[in-house]
Structure formats: C-alpha cells, structure tokens
Amino acid sequence: MRPSSSALAAAATAQADTARLLATCPDRSGIVAAVSGFLHQRGVNITHSDQHSTDPEGGRFFMRQEFFLPGLEGCLDELARDFGGEVAARYQMKWSVVPSGRKKRMAVLVSRLDHALMDLLWRVGRGELHAEIPIVISNHQDLRAAVEAFGVRFEHVHVPEAADAASAPRGKSLSVPEERMLELLEGLPGGPVDTVVLARYMRVLSPAFVRRFPQRIINIHHSFLPAFEGADPYRRAAERGVKLIGATAHYVTGRLDKGPIIEQDVIRVSHRHRLDELKILGRDIERQVLSRAVRWHLEDRVLVDGNKTIVFA
C-alpha cells in the first residue's frame, strides 16, 4: 500500500523540523549536560544521542545528536548562533548543525567499471540514500548511456596518462583535467556538490584537488587496506593464496590510499576460486561497503579523528 499524500506531507514536515548536531572537543566533565541543557531550555526534543571519548584524561570527545523542534527551519540559524556563543566556545568545540531534511548533492567519478556507480544510482533513485546525484564524470565514454538512462547528467573529461597526478611532482597544482572537473562540480545548476564519490575512478587525484573537498571525497578500494595497495589487487591476492578478500571505503587525502577508513568488510575464499570468480565476489562486496560508507557520510555519522574515524552507525 502506498502511503497517503497526507502521510508523506507529515513525514516531510517532521524531517524539516529535525537537525543533527556534530561536535568534537577536548574531553572534560559536563559536556553532555551542557549540550542537553542548552537544547532543553529551548524546547528541543533530543531523539537520538551518541558520544565517544578517546581517553577520559586528555583525550578528545565526539558527539552526534539528532533533535526535533516544531518550526525548526525558521529558528535554526538563531539556535546555532546561541549554541556557538554559550556552549561551543566554552568547550573549544569544532561543531556544526546540519538540517536533516536537506539532501546532500553528490557527484560520482568513475572510469569503465560500472558496478559501484550503478549501485549508487539505483539506491539514490529508490530513496535508500538521502542524496541527489546531479552529475557523473568519467575519463571514458563507456558508461554514458547507462548513466543518462537514470536521467543523470554525464560528462566526459579525458585524462591523458601524462596528466595523472601520480606522475606530477608531489601534485602541488591542478592538472588541466582536474581544472575542468572543478569547473563542472562548482558550476552546476542548483549549486556546487557537497560530496564526491570515486566509484572505481582509476586516476589519482592531486593533493590540490583533494584540498577543495576536505573529508568529502570517498573512495572504494578493491582491497582490505592496508593489504594489496595500488593496482590489480585481486591478481596479487590470488598469487598469494589469500583466504579472505575484502573492500575498504575511506576518505581521500593527499596520500594515496592512506585516508581515514570509514568502512571495511571481507568474504572468505579458497584455492578453488579462480581469478575471475574473485573479481565477481570482490565487486559485490565493494558495492556493499561503498553504499554503507556513503550512507553514513550522508547521515553525518562519521567524525574524523586524525587519520581515524568515529562512526556512529
């Protein structure tokens, strides 16, 4: 049975009146009480709360709260301003308040393999991921028809081998293809994208490009990092006779495959699996790991702690 229009409208209103508070600061006593007290004084209902301390003595404190307040949209800016002055400053917080109803705008970069891309497009279309995908960019033309069948804009940006950031000294400046990609990502109708997902994009991005999207570029690596970094890991895994293969989703940094890990998973294999079978199993687990990591990012469940992540999943 399809939900009625009134039920859908009620759900949309409830989501518009919901927001998320994310905060990290040096750990000390009284943080939870201060945050909860501030929200309580303003009639806010905290619907979900997570917190984590790396060390109660000298560590860092991480918090994620979801809260509801009728008419929140009209007073969110004032609420955030007061929180910054009354609570965040006192506890030296790095913090943000994010409206839950707003869909994040997500661009996808891909090369020729389509499994991760198609899974993201399908999940967004089904409403499983609270996002919109205004553009897919590829260094090949192969997937144009498949992407446009979803009603999504496809742009081809050719990346010559010589332009790969891996061949540039330290990747200090943008390559010409990266300049074109930034032009596309920042000039989209409806505004620039919030997040970039590398769905098996087989080119190295320069540190200069990555710095434009700090902790907002998610990569799926076809290996259980830190094992088998770089290219062709399934062949090398088969040659080593591994008993587990896996996938890793991580934020991209200026260091290749070294960014904070968001999600990982593995599947058991044996000597009976041929290389082509390992790749089929690997692509399936890549889809699952990437979709979970993207969903947690979209729902503001991931807080970065140096080169690690705190994931309130």
Rounded Cα gap, residues 284 and 287, in angstroms: 5
Where in the chain do CATH 3.30.70.260 domains reside?
5-99
Average pLDDT of the chain, as a whole number: 89
CA-angle at 117, arms to 177 and 213, nearest 5°: 50
Query: Is 60 exceeded by the pLDDT of residue 1?
Result: no
What's the mean pLDDT in 77-99? Answer: 96
Residue 257's pLDDT band (cuts 50, 70, 90): confident
Average pLDDT over residues 140-167: 86
Catalytic: which of 82, 257, 265, 305? 257
Share of the chain above pLDDT 90, in %: 74
Give catalytic status of residue 300 as yes or no: no
Task: For the full predicted model, state whether its pTM sits above 0.85.
Answer: yes
User: Which position has the higher pLDDT, 230 or 125?
Assistant: 125
Q: Give the model confidence (pLDDT) of 44-63 as tens digits.
A: 999 999 999 998 888 999 99
pLDDT value at 4 more than 60: no
In which residue ranges of the chain is CATH 3.40.50.170 found? 104-311
Class for domain 5-99, per CATH?
Answer: alpha beta
For domain 104-311, give the fold: Rossmann fold (3.40.50)
E-assigned strand segments in 72-201: 94-99, 104-110, 131-132, 135-138, 153-156, 195-198
Provide long-range contacts, Cβ within 8 A and 24+ apart, for 72-75: 72/16, 72/17, 72/18, 72/19, 72/99, 73/16, 73/17, 73/99
Q: Any idea which of 96-110, 233-247, 274-288 has the lowest mean pLDDT?
A: 233-247
Query: Cα angle vertex 93, ends 91, 96, to 5°?
Result: 140
Encode pLDDT of 164-182 as tens digits.
Answer: 544 444 456 899 999 999 9
The pLDDT value recorded for residue 168 is 46
